Amino acid sequence: MFEKVQKIIAEQLGIEAAAVQPESKFKEDLNADSLDLFEMVMAMEEAFDVEIPSEDLENLATVQDVMDYIKNKGVEE
C-alpha cells in the first residue's frame, strides 16, 4: 500500500516520491496547504474506493495516518 499512497501524494504535490515517507507530516514536511489536502484525499478516495468524510481530515497529519485510515476502512492492498 505504501508505494501506491506514496505515488499519489507525490503526484498531487508535484514532488519526488522519495520525499514522501510514512512519517512525513503533510503540512510541516511536505509543505502541503489545506487545499492540497483536499486534492489528495479526493485522489485517495478514487484510488482505494473509500469515502473519507471532511470531518476526518483533521486527523490525517502524516502519510502513516492516511494508510492506517484506509486500512481501517477494510482496504488490504
Partner 1 sequence: MAEMINELLSIRYPIIQGGMAWVATWELASAVSNAGGLGIIGVGGADVQWVEQQIRQMKAHTDQPFGVNLMLMNPQADEIADLLVRERIPVITTGAGNPGKYITHWKENGTKVIPVIASVAMARMMERAGADAVVAEGTESGGHIGQATTMTLVPQVVDAVQIPVIAAGGIADARGFAAALMLGAAGVQMGTRFVVARESIVHEAYKERVIKAKDIDSEVTGRSTGHPIRVLRNQMTREYLRMEQNGASLEQLEQLTLGALRKAVVDGDVVQGSVMAGQIAGLIHGCDTCEEIISEIITGARKLLEQRFCLGENAIGNTCSDRFANA
Contact residues for 59 (Cβ-Cβ < 8 A; gap 6+): 65, 69
Residue 74 is placed in which grid cell?
477494510
Shortest separation between residue 38's beta carbon and partner 1, angstroms: 4
33 or 76: CB nearest partner 1: 33
The alpha carbon dihedral of 18, 20, 21, 22 has a sign of negative
Shortest separation between residue 44's beta carbon and partner 1, angstroms: 11
2 or 73: CB nearest partner 1: 73
Task: Tell me if residue 33 is catalytic.
Answer: yes
In order of 6, 8, 76, the CA distances from 1 in angstroms are 8, 11, 8
The residue ranges that bind partner 1 (CB under 8 A) are 27, 31, 33-35, 38-39, 41-42, 51, 53-58
Which positions are annotated as active-site residues?
33
